[in-house]
Each structure stands twice: as C-alpha cells, then as structure tokens.
C-alpha cells in the first residue's frame, strides 16, 4: 500500500491590498467592526488591469509547488482544482490550468466544495495515490471573490470577509508508511445548502438575473450568508472533525504540532484554540492579512507556515475546514 505526501507547496496573492478603511469608502462599515467581528485587517483584490484570474493565480501557485517538489510538469498525473469562483460557468479551472501550464493530456477535475474544497481535493488525490493509480497530483485552491461581491452597504456583511488568492500542493507517492497524509475525514449536510449560497447566475436564475439591472431588486447573483447560523455550525463541526481525525490515528489533542484551520473568521479559530487548549504556536492564522480566501485559505496558510519554518519534518499537522454546503473535513498529516 502506498501513502501520499506533500512534496511541495506554493501560494500566490494579488499585489493590490484593500484595507478596512478602503472598504469604508465604498460602504457603511468601519475598521473597528470588521476587526472585532472577524479579525481581518486587510485582504487582496484582483485589479481589472491585472492578468490574474482564478485559473491564472492557480497556475502561479502550482508552478511554485512543482518547483519546490522538484517534479516536472509533464510528470503530473492529475490536476484537482477547488474553487467556488471559476473563470467560466463551464469548463472548470482544472483544464485551464492544464492548458496554461502546457501539461499533456492528464485528467483534470474541479471540486465544488467551497471552504472545504482543498481538503476534499486532498482526499481525492490521496485515494488515487494510495490505490497506486497515480503518482503525482496537483491540488489547487484558488478564488477570485472580489469579482463577484456586492461592495455596497447592502452586501457589507459578506463582502468585507472575502479576499482573493491561490494555494497549491504537489502530492506524491511514497512507499514509506506512517508519514504523509495519514487520513482524511469528509462530511456534508445538504439540508443547509442555502444558508451560505450564491443562487445565480445558474440554470435557474441565469437569464432573468443577468437581464435585470435594478439595484433595488432582490438579485440572487450576490452571495447570501446566514452569518450567525454558519458561525454556530462551524464551531461545532470544526471540533467534531478534528477529534474524528485524531481518534482515527490514536492521537491526543496534545499531539498536534500545528493546526491550520480554514481561515473563515479569526473568532472561529480562537474558539477552537481555546476549546482544545492549544498554544499560539500550535495554531496558524493569517486571515488578518488575506481575509477568507475559501478554497485557497488552507493551502496559502500551509505554505506560509512552512515558509516561516513553523512546520518541520516529523510534525503532526492537522488541517480542518467548514463551509458552504454545509461541507466540512479534516486531514491528519505527519510532515
């Protein structure tokens, strides 16, 4: 039986920094409200004149991950691309990445699991490697949120939270047991699908939504989030799925060297940290600088934690996410 391990990580964020004060010029909000409720100080937004899109940012992050892994692009056997903000309604960003990177005819698939997308993608990749079907798999999470948010006061409870960026991991086959991705744990609960959703453009809302341009109307092509309901579910599910992962590997909370929670809201991370009595050194957060980058948040945070020397060989790293769907999951890794 093979195992999979992360051989290289990369990240890319646009240069354009948008502070809370910048947002306050567009809508009725302020730095104190945003920081107090979310911990976010600034985020990155793609500029229209940039060549950055969800797919191209994914390529930039993936190129770094491949270089660090020492794997040639032609040895990639599968591309898994997680996003809720693809460049096109179809086809997905996976095939765009393949084309932009000049990779041969390997399969490319898109994962539509929002904030849990990277962990779902990692799990898919892990299964393909464990069975021996593939050797090298690129898992990418990338989001262009700023292109689809309502930056008027009407949309402030959602638009201040999200930011743009991409992260990527190159997973490779290992024949050494007891390290790499030890296990992944996935869940979903579709009964709450519309509590955090974007209904249109879609086959249901597409034409009517696009044809109407009246800002007074209840247009379904901006995201909707029932913030407090999502928050309450997030703290419960985060805790459950972290414990599930630890128990599956006969690990205790004290065995965690680094917890990288999806960067949804600093208050959620702090709640989990307090509940599990983890020290500041055991939890990595960067939402203060990037906001919530959904499928990109875990690979961006994992890359930065590794770049800063906070993850070392042999460390037990726990990834955990919760988001729209609802979907949630965890991954337990021995680095």
Q: Interacting stretch for ligand ACO, rule CB under 6 A, among 10-18, 66-74, 93-101, 263-271? A: 263-271
292 is catalytic: yes
The answer to whether residue 269 forms part of the interface with ligand ACO (CB under 6 A) is no
The answer to whether residue 292 forms part of the interface with ligand ACO (CB under 6 A) is yes
Site for ligand ACO in 203-242 (CB under 6 A): 227-228, 230-231, 234
108: nearest Cα among 90, 118, 126, 95: 95
* Rounded-to-integer distance, Cα 250 and Cα 248, Å: 6
3-class DSSP state of 293:
coil
Return the structure tokens found at 116: 């849990």
Q: Interacting stretch for ligand ACO, rule CB under 6 A, among 171-179, 260-268, 281-289, 312-320? A: 260-268
Site for ligand ACO in 123-162 (CB under 6 A): 156-157, 160-161
The answer to whether residue 295 forms part of the interface with ligand ACO (CB under 6 A) is no
DSSP H helices, 82-226, are 93-101, 117-130, 156-159, 206-211
Among 54, 83, 98, 114, binds ligand ACO (CB under 6 A): 114
Which residue in this structure is represented by tokens 């399969």?
A: 107
The answer to whether residue 105 forms part of the interface with ligand ACO (CB under 6 A) is no
115 is catalytic: yes
Size of the site for ligand ACO (CB under 6 A): 24
Q: Which is nearer to ligand ACO, 5 or 43 (CB)?
A: 43
Q: Which is nearer to ligand ACO, 108 or 272 (CB)?
A: 272
Q: Are 125 and 137 in contact (CB under 8 A)?
A: yes
CA 169 to chain centre: 12
Q: Name the strand (E) or helix (H) holding 234.
A: helix 227-248
Beta bridge partners of 183: 332
Handedness of CA 199, 202, 208, 212 (dihedral sign): positive
Catalytic residue numbers, as ranges: 115, 262, 292
Binding residues for ligand ACO (CB under 6 A): 29, 33-34, 37-38, 114-115, 156-157, 160-161, 196, 227-228, 230-231, 234, 264-265, 268, 292, 294, 323-324
């Amino acid at each position: 039986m093979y195992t999979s391990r992360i051989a290289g990580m990369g990240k890319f964020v646009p240069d354009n920094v948008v502070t809370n004060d910048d947002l306050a010029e567009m809508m009725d909000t302020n730095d104190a409200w945003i920081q107090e409720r979310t911990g976010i100080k600034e985020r990155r937004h793609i500029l229209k004149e940039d060549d950055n899109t969800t797919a191209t940012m994914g390529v930039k992050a993936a190129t770094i991950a491949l270089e660090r892994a020492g794997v040639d692009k032609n040895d990639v056997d599968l591309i898994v691309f997680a996003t809720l903000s693809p460049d096109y309604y179809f086809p997905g960003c996976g095939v765009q990445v393949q084309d932009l990177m000049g990779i041969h005819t390997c399969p490319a698939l898109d994962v539509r699991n929002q904030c849990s997308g990277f962990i779902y993608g990692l799990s898919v990749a892990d299964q393909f490697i464990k069975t021996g079907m593939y050797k090298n798999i690129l898992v990418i999470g990338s989001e262009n949120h700023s292109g689809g948010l309502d930056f008027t006061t009407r949309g402030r409870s959602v638009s201040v939270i999200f930011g743009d960026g991409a992260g990527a991991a190159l997973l490779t086959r290992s024949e050494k047991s007891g390290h790499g991705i030890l296990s992944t744990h996935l869940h979903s609960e579709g009964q709450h699908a519309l509590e955090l959703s974007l209904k249109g453009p879609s086959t249901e809302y597409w034409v009517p939504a696009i044809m109407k341009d009246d800002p007074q109307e209840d247009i379904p092509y901006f995201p909707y989030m029932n913030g407090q309901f999502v928050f309450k579910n997030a703290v419960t599910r985060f805790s459950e799925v972290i414990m599930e992962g630890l128990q599956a590997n006969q690990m205790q909370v004290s065995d965690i060297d680094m917890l990288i929670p999806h960067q949804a809201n600093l208050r959620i991370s702090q709640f989990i940290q307090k509940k599990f009595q983890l020290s500041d050194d055991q939890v990595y957060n960067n939402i203060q600088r990037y906001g919530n980058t959904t499928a990109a948040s875990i690979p961006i945070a994992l890359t930065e934690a590794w770049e800063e020397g906070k993850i070392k060989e042999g460390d037990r790293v726990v990834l955990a996410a919760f988001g729209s769907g609802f979907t949630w999951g965890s991954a337990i890794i021995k680095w």
